[in-house]
Structure 1
Amino acid sequence: MSGHDETMAILRELKDISNASGEFVTGILEDSLTYDEQINFALRLVRLAEQIKARADRTPVVVDGEVINGNSSRALPGRTDGQADYPDPIGRD
């Protein structure tokens, strides 16, 4: 799959999940979702997150004009393992 095709697949799945979110929220509020419905929605979110992360991991990082990737032995600011120091997306830092 080309980079463009991968991007379009991510955008389509994001759109589909966004469209399904209203029904999911209603089910959560009404406590009417089955176990399977909750697990299936969660798995869709996980798969989408994994696709987005895989795409991001292939994106070059430029620091001080030098391209650094995840396999570099050179650390990015705030870390000693060569990885970026990303903020916690749910605010647990």
Structure 2
Amino acid sequence: ASVGDMVPRAKVPAAVALNSMGFNITRSVGPAIGGIIVAAAGAAAAFAANAISYIGLIAVLFRWKPEVPAPTLPREALGAAMGAGLRYVA
């Protein structure tokens, strides 16, 4: 979901394709690696390896400061916003 925030607009299609390719490779290679870990060290080691693999991702997400566009509309009062939401649902 954040690919569009990380690359220039002109390169979004290529970045999405590369991201999809990475997901597909991971879906095919990941279970094999997991099976090897389970066979060699047990299920607990597989869960530990999975938990450790998220440390890098979490660190990157904490350091990432995406550009937030300046709001163009004024703030809306809570009651008015809830009323607008209810009208939309109705």
Task: Please report the TM-score for the alignment, with normalisation by the length of structure 1.
Answer: 0.35
User: Whose strand proportion is higher, 1 or 2?
Assistant: 1
Task: Please report the TM-score for the alignment, with normalisation by the length of structure 2.
Answer: 0.36
User: Whose helix proportion is higher, 1 or 2?
Assistant: 2
